[in-house]
Amino acid sequence: MKSPFLNAVRAKKLLIINAILAAFYFISLIVLFQRGNIYLYIVLILGEVFHLWQLFTLIHAAWDTPHDEPFANNFEAPIDVFITVAGEPVEIVRKTVIAASQMNYPNFHVYILNDGKVAKKDNWKEIEKIANEVDPLKVSCITRTKPGGAKAGNINNALNQTQSPFVAILDCDHIPKPYFLSKTAGYFIDPQVAFVQSPQYYRNHTESFVANAAWQQQTLFFGPICRGKARTNSLFMCGTNMVIRRSALESVNGMSQDSITEDLLTSLLIHAKGWRSIYVPLILAEGLAPEDLGAYWKQQFRWARGSLEVMFKYNPLTLKGLTWPQRVQYFASVSYYLTGLIVLADALLPLFYFYGGLIPVSSTTMAIALIFVPYIFLTLYSLQWISSYAFSFRAIAFSIGSWPIYLLALIYTILRIDTGFKITSKEKQEGSYLSLAFIHIIYILAVIVGIGLTIYHQGRVNSSLITNASWGLLYIIMFLPFVRASLSDRIINFLPLKEELPAEELIQ
């Protein structure tokens, strides 16, 4: 089953124009505009260097997405299907197990990897009963008794107790389609293929504002980015909806337990060994997105913390065994979470003007607008185009609004503060999460007050005020969806914030 965002979209001319405008804007900052405060100027330039890095690595990934790989329809090697569980609701687990047991592949066995006991969850015994309730001939439960390694440790424990040459891994909320295995296993006809990854599709993306935003963020990654990474053999495992060759895992001593993003690090080490990876742009399983800001925060923090750890400990740019396209794409993925620091630096620039009269560059508002507006407009349009318009403003706003999460992850990584593996809640938690958006609210108030004070003290509106006010208001617009997501349902129902969330049209 395909989704519009999974369609391959060619946009080479658009991407070339986008790259030219981005380079022109950067060169203009250096050559055409008069420098202001040297420290703010350096911050501005470093931020733009990072934005160029992100843009050009995205273009590198999305440049040519269609590709064909050998596939054997009659591939029937045994597969162990691992469903990882650590205290999630029994009904959610049961639905996934039932669906997995009914897949139309001739040779597989389902294992519930029950980590509830070592995680001290009350329902671990109920999880054990699911195997017998569904089908004891097709389903078994492996309950771990010795803790360690979180999800990676759970998988490695199961690897030691099973023997099929291939393993499929599903999170307990990702319900597989009947054809999940039949659409992925055939790629292993190539003995160099280590794993086959399919997209994460959130079936609950119309259930809440947060779930919809989380889903829209995924569309860009599982659309053109994953297709491009597959082309350069730098696609990494995404935790669920994947099938792996056991010998590939054994070549790197199993799932890595050195990172809370065990899938990313294990993929990196596997690729460094010379293995290949395949991406299947089909919806083969349907999972659950975080439905509240608390769950979203935990998910994003885990991804950011794990990725940044990989960047500092296993720098893909210097890791032996990788090709240069692999180095570039892996480093692009892990360095993405430096966005937290970059957004903070960029957002603070207008505040330095409002409260200190400091500016990084000096120019007329019209001159800056003539260069910046076409560049940023085309960048946003390119993101929409290459994702078949599935990547929206809400997705961009949530990515930018998540900067405190990414910044906190960076701080924790640098200071080596242990946070452990925190599971994303599979059920919506009611309540207000205003504390998670408190810094956004402070920023919004600081910009509004700053504009007012500047007008009062200057007694007029000049080009610097217009430029900085526009910059600050742009960030206010970007932060508002995050603030909206922090409000409780009671407040949302009281205010005119209700909306009909867009449904995803699937292509059979």
> pLDDT at position 372, please?
79
Handedness of CA 188, 245, 161, 260 (dihedral sign): negative
The first and second tokens of residue 504, run together, are 């995803």
Q: Are 209 and 250 in contact (CB under 8 A)?
A: no
Q: Which of 61-75, 303-317, 489-503 has the lowest mean pLDDT?
A: 489-503
> Region 298-323: what's the mean pLDDT?
95
Q: What is the C-alpha separation between 158 and 342, in angstroms, rounded?
A: 41
Q: Cβ contacts of residue 179 below 8 Å, gap of 6+?
A: 103, 104, 284
Which H or E run includes 331? helix 324-335
Widest distance between CA atoms in the chain: 81
Give the pLDDT band of residue 321 (cuts 50, 70, 90). Answer: very high
> Residue 477: how many CB atoms within 10 A of its CB?
13
| Residue 382: band (very low, low, confident or very high) from pLDDT cuts 50, 70, 90 | confident
Amino acid 436: pLDDT: 93
Confidence of residue 389 (pLDDT cuts 50, 70, 90): confident
Q: Is 497's pLDDT higher than 60? A: no
In a domain, 423, yes or no: no
> Which pLDDT score, from 0 to 100, does residue 490 have?
57
- Six-digit token pair at 318? 């210097």
Model confidence band, residue 508 (pLDDT cutoffs 50, 70, 90): low
Mean pLDDT of 225-253: 95
Q: At residue 398, does pLDDT exceed 80?
A: yes
| Average pLDDT of the residues in 24-42 | 90
| pLDDT attached to residue 462 | 84
Look at 418 and 9; give whichever has higher pLDDT.
Answer: 418
The better pLDDT of the pair 488, 166 is held by 166
Q: Is residue 348 part of a domain?
A: no
Q: Confidence class of residue 163 from pLDDT cuts 50, 70 and 90?
A: very high
Q: b/e string for 117-143 if b means 16 or more Cβ within 10 A?
A: bbbebeebebbbebbeebeeebbbbbb
Q: Count of domains in the chain?
A: 1
Of 118-132, 163-177, 226-240, 357-371, where does mean pLDDT reach its minimum?
357-371
- How many CB atoms neighbour CB 492 within 10 A? 15
Two tokens, residue 77: 């090697």
For 430-485, the three-class secondary structure string (H helix, E strand, C coil) is CCCCHHHHHHHHHHHHHHHHHHHHHHHHHCCCCHHHHHHHHHHHHHHHHHHHHHHH
pLDDT given at position 14: 86
Q: Is residue 39 assigned to a domain?
A: no
Convert the pLDDT of each residue in 335-346 to its tens digit. 999 999 999 999
**Residue 15 vs residue 139, higher pLDDT:** 139
Looking up tokens 């055409």, which residue turns up? 32
Residue 203 lies in a domain: yes
**pLDDT above 70 (res 489):** no
Structure tokens at 247: 């010998």
Task: Flag whether 453 is in a domain.
Answer: no
Q: What is the 3-state secondary structure (H, E, C) of 363-422?
A: CCHHHHHHHHHHHHHHHHHHHHHHCCCCCCHHHHHHHHHCHHHHHHHHHHHHHCCCCCCC
Tokens of 189: 């006809």
Q: Which of 243, 413, 435 is nearest to 341 (CA)?
A: 413
Mean pLDDT of 46-53: 95
In degrees and rounded to multiples of 5, residue 401 shows phi and psi of: -65, -15
Mean pLDDT of 108-134: 94
Under the banding of pLDDT at 50, 70 and 90, the label for residue 503 is low
Q: What residues contact residue 106 under an 8 Å CB cut-off, 6+ apart?
A: 76
Mean per-residue pLDDT of the chain: 90
- pLDDT class of 365 with cuts at 50, 70, 90: low
CB under 8 Å to 276, separation ≥6 — which residues? 190, 192, 193, 194, 233
> Residue 432: what pLDDT?
75
pLDDT of residue 374: 82
What is the extent of the structural domain holding 173?
Answer: 79-296
Cα gap 12→20, rounded to integer Å = 12
Model confidence at 428: pLDDT above 60: no
Answer yes or no: is 441 within a domain.
no
Question: What's the CATH number where 208 sits?
Answer: 3.90.550.10
- Say if 496 falls within a structural domain: no
The pLDDT, as a whole number, for residue 384 is 79
Whole-Å CA distances, 248 to 188, 198, 252: 12, 18, 7
Tally the C-alpha atoms within 13 A of residue 88's C-alpha that lie toward its C-beta.
27
- Helix 38-62 to helix 12-31 angle (10° resolution) is 170
Is 241 a member of any domain? yes
